[in-house]
Amino acid sequence: MDVYQGAVAALVPFFVSERHYTYAAASGIVLAASLLSSVVQPLFGVLTDRWRMPWLLPVSTLTAGGGVALSGAGDSYALTLAVVAVSGIGVAAYHPEAARAARGAAGGDHAAMGWFSLGGNIGFAAAPLLVAAVVATGGLRASPLLAGPALVAAVLYAAVPRTDPRPGAATAGHADEREDDRASFARLSGAIMCRSVVFVGLSAFVSLYVRERAGGGEVAGTAALFVLYLGGAVGTVAGGRLANRYSRVTVVRRSYALSVLAVAGVVLVPGPALYGFVALTSACLYVPFSLHVTLGQDYLPRHMGTASGVTLGLAVSVGGIAGPAIGALADAASLQAALAPLIALPAVGWLLLRPLREPAGTGRTGRTGQGADGTTGSSNVRRSLTS
């Protein structure tokens, strides 16, 4: 599924070179993918809080893949925006139900939730390679071939049985015995929004930026985007393991603090060293990724679907709204000037996170132990769906 979120950003350089879009116009495509996803995803979270909807997984996967596949099929900018927006709706429908199923399979084990998120990060990392293989060889009109992974995933989702914990189930963390902490959830969501603007901004423009700063043409740009996404895979797994040793809030706060230095390196350091800072930035931004989800669910234990919709959807996708502003500033000044404000955002997120404490009733790490069948969360989630 997440290969299609990454594919939108990976298509930006091709829209710029083949269709001669401005930076602002290209970033508008990223906004189209993000906006509907950010607005609609909490609604799907509310729906999954009330009803069992496992059919959303294959249907949403096909919708997300179909939208991206059609994005290069015509020359119309309006049509491109429309089909990418449809893809965003597919992404919105997918994540709340997937996060609920994964949390139940994980049994509260943060390392297991890290493995779940790893699937999505691998999809992000594969997106530039997939897009390059298809579009770099056949042009944007070859984009319908990008539907292939969605077709395969939809068949797998339809065939593989899934757990479906409701809010009152033991594997969901005894949600019926705890109260919602809306203030802490709001602070967490604000920090995620800061992180989202940084990540979406870099996703949209890092390939173009590296081509300017380090040279190497389209290959260098694709490599930088691949490093950005692959570093996220490492960070996600590390975050889950760290949270099983330390408190989730501590791990999240420290990753935001380190992100300030990492993003500064991306913006300010020239030459090949830039790739190292891209990888560090990605790891720092993704260490807290799966922890955002479990913290959000534990701050809103009575509305886990809603919490998943916000932490995986609204707060994450809102970064796309800032895309056109970054693009407009790049058109008016330079890409470096447009990316420079991103340095401050992880610091703002850190300030929002400072007062947070571990959610009540979850213990030091929030780990709830074994799943309903007596197996550990790690073994369960590896047999479950991935994002």
Average pLDDT, the chain: 80
Please answer whether residues 181 and 297 qualify as being in contact, where contact means their C-beta atoms are separated by less than 8 angstroms: no
Query: In this predicted model, what pLDDT tens digit does every residue of 245-255 receive, in sequence order?
Result: 888 999 999 99
Sign of the four-CA dihedral 324, 36, 95, 160: negative
Q: What is the pLDDT of residue 113?
A: 62
Rounded CA gap, 34 and 90, in Å? 11
CATH topology of domain 2-366: Growth Hormone; Chain: A; (1.20.1250)
pLDDT level of residue 353 (50, 70, 90 thresholds): very high
Rounded CA gap, 14 and 209, in Å? 14
Q: State yes or no: pLDDT of 13 exceeds 80.
A: yes
Q: What is the pLDDT of residue 210?
A: 87
* Helical ranges in the chain per DSSP H: 2-19, 23-50, 56-69, 77-106, 110-138, 148-159, 182-213, 217-245, 248-268, 273-286, 289-299, 304-309, 315-317, 323-332, 335-339, 345-353, 377-383
Q: State yes or no: pLDDT of 118 exceeds 90.
A: no
Q: State yes or no: pLDDT of 122 exceeds 90.
A: no
Q: What is the pLDDT of residue 66?
A: 92
Q: What is the pLDDT of residue 380?
A: 40
Q: What is the pLDDT of residue 234?
A: 81
Query: In this predicted model, what pLDDT tens digit does every residue of 361-378 receive, in sequence order?
Result: 665 544 443 333 333 343
CA contacts within 13 A on the Cβ side of 123: 23
Query: In this predicted model, what pLDDT tens digit does every residue of 245-299 receive, in sequence order?
Result: 888 999 999 999 999 999 999 999 888 888 999 999 999 998 998 899 889 989 9
Mean pLDDT of 134-152: 89
Mean pLDDT of 49-71: 86
